[in-house]
Amino acid sequence: MLVKQELPFNKKQLNSLVYDYLSKKNTVSDFYKYFPDKEGFRNAIASNSFNGIDRNLLKNELLQQSKLVSNTTKQSLSNIELLANGNSFTVTTGHQLCLFTGPLYFVYKIFSVINLCETLKKEFPGHDFVPVYWMASEDHDFEEVNHLNVFGKKIVWQTTQAGTVGAMDTKELEAVCVQFSEILGSTENAKEMVQLFKDSYLNHNNLSDATRYLVNHLFGEYGLVTVDGNSKALKETFMAYFKKDIFENIPFKHAGESIDKLNKLSYNVQVNPREINCFYIENGIRARFEKEGDKYRVIGTEKLLSKQELEALIEAKPESISPNVVLRPCYQQFLLPNIAYVGGPGELAYWLEYKTMFDALQLPFPVLVPRKMIALIDMATKQKMDKFGFDFETVYEEEQSLIKSFLEKSNGTFEIEAHKKVLEQLFSKINEAASIIDKTLGGAVDAEKQKSINSLSAIEQKVNKALKQRSETEINQIKNIKSKLFPNALPQERVDNFSMYYVKWGADFFRSLKDDLNYDLKELGQIFFIEQ
């Protein structure tokens, strides 16, 4: 059904920091510990950095979380049990609780984690590797998770709820489900997707449980373990680090050191830490802490705490403290025996800012592994690409560049630059001759020259417009190729929801992803799936 073609990463896909990291540039060597190859993983395993983890507490908490939904699989429960053993490691990816997984790359990230675990088990059979999805249940940026795009239509969840997204009530998603059903149609695959939406969102009370159920349904057979860090039991173990952030500003100071170095090396910085990287969460709010004099304000509220009062709050109610994008990776690495983090270019870029912070907090820094980056190409689109001679790198060029290249090869383009230069030379001679007679005539000559050049430009535009009209069908086909692979001028994987492809290809779609998103730890690259 789908045939895989794998290529090296295209530089246009990656920010320069991550591209140089994957290219092993010396300029980046200070910002990571282990490279994502066999030697790097061997050294990470041998470092034995996870002795301080309370594995039994972790196992017991995850077993409790697994009971929040009815469809946790035997494979996932078995993997949770494995975490109690000292020779087991996790491979983790994190993601927001996007509606029905949101964009395609959510699915790609999860399969990347699952398949990397299988590769590591083959390479290091004396150890076990557990795939983990870390739910970003404490995020409060609802606009980033409240929609999905299906067949070019955006479905949006409208609500007045606020606070952490994981706690939001999903019962009001019934109207969204109706819209989803209307767009997908009435095929058997479409009905399967709509039923999964109902089972996930309408049969659970909040977005965290709904997402857990959905993820279990899609990936549970592969033993994926879902972790929700918004847990009193887990946060109790992390209290000392909340204090290091709030009262000593250690993440701010040490991540700042790395950012200064990156800036000097002309790399763009992905995330800038705050002096305090913790939020306060309570009944519909998630708000930053900020120091005011010798006290601590919860921004946007009347809550103002002394240091002693805030310390007492952390100790009595650690579940009310929430780490941000800077501190959350530390929380993850403190809780889990996590050997690797799998993420996209943006995520890996901000992890590379954090190594100095991890060293200062004496936390193990994971191997940073790029997720698989994928483009799905249907048969009609591939035929059009072949017609125009576009390869998988060519399609990353700008649309107008592709059109111009096509026109030059087919009809040619009408360019008048050479004639403009002749005209300028002619008017220059006229200007010299006229100025001898009367110096004031130079301006008039220049004005006439500009009129003539403008006339030539107008002719050029009209001729090229006529050429484009002769090739209107082909130009529209080029635009169609770009819109399929780059809807809204973004990579397909960052826009389309998986359901539209599942409707077309059914369970074979997921089987193809599982079978082909493998890691060999030798060459990291991008993948194109072509329909046959």
Calculate the alpha carbon distances from 262 to 13, 55, 267, 365 in Å.
20, 36, 5, 18
Q: Cα 133 to chain center, whole Å?
A: 14
Any domain includes 90? yes
Q: Are residues 385 and 367 in the same domain?
A: no
Q: Are residues 342 and 467 in the same domain?
A: no
Do 502 and 364 belong together in one domain? yes
Answer whether residue 93 is part of any domain.
Answer: yes
Distance CA 164, CA 303 (A): 18
Q: Tell me: the pLDDT tens digits for 137-170?
A: 999 899 999 999 999 999 999 999 999 999 999 9
In the chain, which residues have pLDDT < 70? Answer: 1, 10, 411-416, 464, 466-470, 523, 525-526, 528, 532
Tens of pLDDT along 354-406? 999 999 999 999 999 999 888 898 888 889 988 888 888 888 888 888 888 88
Beta bridge partners of 291: 296
pLDDT at 161: 93
Claim to verify: residue 497 and residue 410 sit in the same structural domain: no
501 and 357 fall within a common domain = yes
Parent domain of 401: 381-489
Q: What is the pLDDT of residue 411?
A: 63
Question: Residues 404, 475: one domain?
Answer: yes
Is residue 135 assigned to a domain?
yes
CA nearest neighbour of 314 among 401, 243, 254: 243
As given in the structure block, the two tokens for residue 505 are 């290809």
pLDDT score recorded for residue 186: 92
Counting the structural domains of the chain, the total is 2
Q: d(Cα 251, Cα 275) in Å, to the nearest integer? A: 8
In a domain, 188, yes or no: no
Q: Are residues 366 and 411 in the same domain?
A: no
Distance of alpha carbon 20 from alpha carbon 282, whole angstroms: 42
Q: Does the residue 478 lie in any domain?
A: yes
Domain presence at residue 36: yes
Place of tokens 């994987």: 493
Q: Are residues 387 and 504 in the same domain?
A: no
- The verdict on 18 and 130 lying in the same domain is yes
How is residue 14 annotated by DSSP?
S
> Do 452 and 357 reside in the same domain of the chain?
no
Q: Domain check: are 83 and 25 in the same one?
A: yes
Do 109 and 213 fall within a single domain?
A: yes
Please list, in sequence order, all residues whose beta carbon lies within 8 angstroms of the beta carbon of residue 217, skipping any fewer than 6 positions away: 71, 196, 199, 200
Burial class (CB in 10 A: 0-12, 13-18, 19+), 241: buried
How far apart are the C-alpha atoms of 517 and 393, rounded to whole Å?
Answer: 20
Alpha carbon separation from 457 to 3, 169, 407, 445, 472 (Å, rounded) = 47, 60, 18, 19, 22
Using one digit for the tens of pLDDT, what is the confidence trace for 306-318?
999 999 999 999 9
